[in-house]
Amino acid sequence: MWVASDGVHATKFTGDGSGLTNVSGTGDNLGSHVATKTLDMAGYDINAAGGISATGYKQSGETILIVEGDENFYSGIGASPDGPPYGSANTSIGNDSGGWATVGREYNSFFGYGAAYSGTGGDENTILGAVAAGLSGIGSGNTMIGAWAGWDSSGDGNIFIGNNAGTGVRYATSDNNIMIGNNTHMSSYDASYKLNIGNLLYGDMAAYSIGIGTETPMAALDVVSTGTASNVYAQIWRNGTGVVVASMTSQGTLFATLGTSGDNLGNHTATQALNMGGFNLNNAGAITSVSTITGYSTMTVLGSAFSVGGSTLVVVNGRVGISSAAPVAQLGVQGEAVISSTLTVQSIMADNLVGGIMYFAKSSCPNGFLKANGAAVSRTTYSKLYDAIGVTFGSGDGSTTFNLPDIRGEFLRGYDDGRGVDSGRSIGTSQSDAFQGHRHRTTKRYNSAISGTIGPVYRPDGSISDDTLLTDPISDGVNGTPRVASETRPRNIALMGCIKY
């Protein structure tokens, strides 16, 4: 202690401290160490930090910045999920933004207060705007931009741009819709592939149709007029300079600018023949003639019916009627038909006749028929006939041919088919000739010139001589001389038997 001459006590040391040792420094003097408890900065800043490594950043006790899981980044109060699974490559920025919507999901980007904050989420969504997609769990592949955009939608593949875009149908599960503009909406809870631009231009992308003023277009382009009066227009067409060249009123009247060049027939009565120069006459409402219509080209009628002379010739709904106003078949003829040339029928009816036998009073068969002579013919060339009879009458060479029936010199007999008159036979089988069992009356006479006991000699009954043999033809006195042959047969005539192929 130093005391001045006046008795005042004073102490003062001045130095650079370069030689001081074992002296405790002033301030916190954190140095390099591992903390064992929370560092309370008491409201002071941390300045000039070289780097801060932390699992998260809190403010006022709330975690507002955190990186978790596989490259997930969350910034904002309530922006991150409380625990795993965290998903992958998700970004959520904004208080109460979709942290829960990223649980176990990937490639989502949520920006804005409450963006996708409620419910479960999907993958590959981009949500930008306060409370966008915020009410219910979202699907996957959605893009929603604007406050409250898609607020109550949980579908997939939707694009909503604008304030309240795509809202208005609570918890909608619609997919693949495009809504652009403030307060644009979906038409129904389950509507999908719909387009709405500014609540004016609508589309059904599944049907490739566009509606102007209507949410349910009925054609590729469906336009609803703004009024119903005749002077209100539904469509107006202009050329490149903005001049109106055509228009359609709300009542369906078309006004078109007609050029003055060309034929320009207009509404008038002709004073001379109209020469079309080889060009067509199209879209005629009706053609009325007081004379003969001649020419070397064709006339096409676009309509369901036309007639010539009333019911003399009628074409209606694709059917032709001759003297029949209402034909019920493709061709209806009322009355007789005279055919002076070949009639060829190509239809299922002709196919049904394949395999049929017909007789002709000539030595050859007509077109479409083969002689039924047992010949082997090609299975390919006559495929329909082969399909009909197969190898019933012979398999030909066993691979490429088959045999036709051989009815030459034969009588045809109907197939018994279970009747019991000629049972035990199948289609195509043949029979040899036969003579039904019968008997003849005879008388017995004895020859008195022979002595001893002999048996009776039987001869046919009637006036015959003693030397008549039982094998000799005997006339019945009515039908002339008996006819003897090597077979038993009725009267007949020979015709050419042919089979349809």
Question: Is 321 in the same domain as 408?
Answer: no
Question: Is 377 in the same domain as 497?
Answer: yes
Give residues with Cβ within 8 angstroms of 393, minimum separation 6: 374, 402, 403, 404, 405, 406, 428
Instruction: Please compute Rg for the chain using Cα positions.
Output: 55
Residue 230 inside a domain? The answer is no
Question: Is 308 in the same domain as 390?
Answer: no
Among 174, 192, 210, the domain-final residue is 192
Residue 118 inside a domain? The answer is yes
Residue 274 inside a domain? The answer is no
Question: Is 164 in the same domain as 311?
Answer: no
**Burial annotation 19-50 (CB, 10 A radius, 16+ → b, else e):** eeeeeeeeeeeeeeeeeeeeeeeeeeeeeeee
Average pLDDT over all residues of the chain: 80
Q: Does the CA dihedral 253-254-258-264 come out positive or negative?
A: negative
Q: What is the pLDDT of residue 310?
A: 63
What SS3 class is residue 144?
strand
Question: Is 354 in the same domain as 499?
Answer: yes
Question: Do 179 and 160 contact (CB within 8 A), yes or no?
Answer: yes
Question: Do 92 and 74 contact (CB within 8 A), yes or no?
Answer: yes
Cis amide prior to 85 (ω within 30 degrees): yes
Q: What is the pLDDT of residue 321?
A: 85
Alpha-carbon span 249 to 226, nearest angstrom: 10
Please report the DSSP string for 461-476 in residue order.
SSS--TT--TTS----
Q: What is the pLDDT of residue 315?
A: 85
Question: Is 90 in the same domain as 140?
Answer: yes
Domain that holds residue 148: 54-192
Residue 128 parent element (H or E)? strand 126-128
- Looking up tokens 């304030």 gives 163
Residue 238 parent element (H or E)? strand 233-238
Mean pLDDT confidence for 168-194:
82
pLDDT value at 381 more than 70: yes
Question: Is 309 in the same domain as 328?
Answer: yes
What SS3 class is residue 65?
strand
Among 280, 312, 334, the domain-final residue is 334
AA identity, residue 18: S
DSSP secondary structure code for residue 306 in this structure: E
Question: Could you give the percent of the chain with pLDDT greater than 90?
Answer: 26
Question: Could you give the percent of the chain with pLDDT greater than 70?
Answer: 76
- Looking up tokens 């010949």 gives 375
Residue 353 inside a domain? The answer is yes
Give residues with Cβ within 8 angstroms of 113, minimum separation 6: 76, 94, 95, 96, 97, 130, 131
> Which residues is 201 bridged to in the sheet?
197, 212
Question: Is 329 in the same domain as 353?
Answer: no
Mean pLDDT confidence for 192-205:
93
Q: Output the six-digit token pair for 53.
A: 């490594």
Question: Is 320 in the same domain as 409?
Answer: no
Poorest-pLDDT segment among 200-209, 243-252, 271-280, 378-387: 271-280
CATH number at residue 64: 2.150.10
Domain count for the chain: 3
Enumerate the H helices of 294-372 as residue ranges.
Answer: 348-352
Residue 272 inside a domain? The answer is no
Question: Is 179 in the same domain as 310?
Answer: no
Confidence category of residue 169, pLDDT binned at 50, 70, 90? low
Cα distances (angstroms) measured from residue 208 to each of 158, 160, 217, 219, 222:
17, 20, 10, 9, 11
Q: What is the pLDDT of residue 59?
A: 65
Residue 24 inside a domain? The answer is no
pLDDT single digits (tens) 73-110: 888 888 878 777 878 998 989 898 887 777 888 998 99
pLDDT single digits (tens) 444-468: 555 555 555 555 555 555 544 555 5
Enumerate the H helices of 322-445 as residue ranges.
Answer: 348-352, 383-389
AA identity, residue 314: V
Count CB neighbours of 87 within 10 A: 22
Size (the chain), residues = 501
pLDDT value at 141 more than 60: yes
Alpha-carbon span 148 to 428, nearest angstrom: 86
Residue 200 has, within 13 A of its CA and on its CB side, a CA count of: 5
Confidence category of residue 312, pLDDT binned at 50, 70, 90? confident
Question: Is 146 in the same domain as 186?
Answer: yes
Question: Is 83 in the same domain as 186?
Answer: yes
Q: Output the six-digit token pair for 341.
A: 């040339």
- Looking up tokens 């015959």 gives 464
Residue 73 inside a domain? The answer is yes
Q: What is the pLDDT of residue 447?
A: 53
Q: Does the CA dihedral 341-342-347-353 come out positive or negative?
A: positive
Among 192, 226, 243, the domain-final residue is 192
What SS3 class is residue 303?
coil
Mean pLDDT confidence for 37-58:
72
Count CB neighbours of 215 within 10 A: 18
Mean pLDDT confidence for 1-30:
61
Enumerate the H helices of 275-344 as residue ranges.
Answer: none
Residue 361 inside a domain? The answer is yes
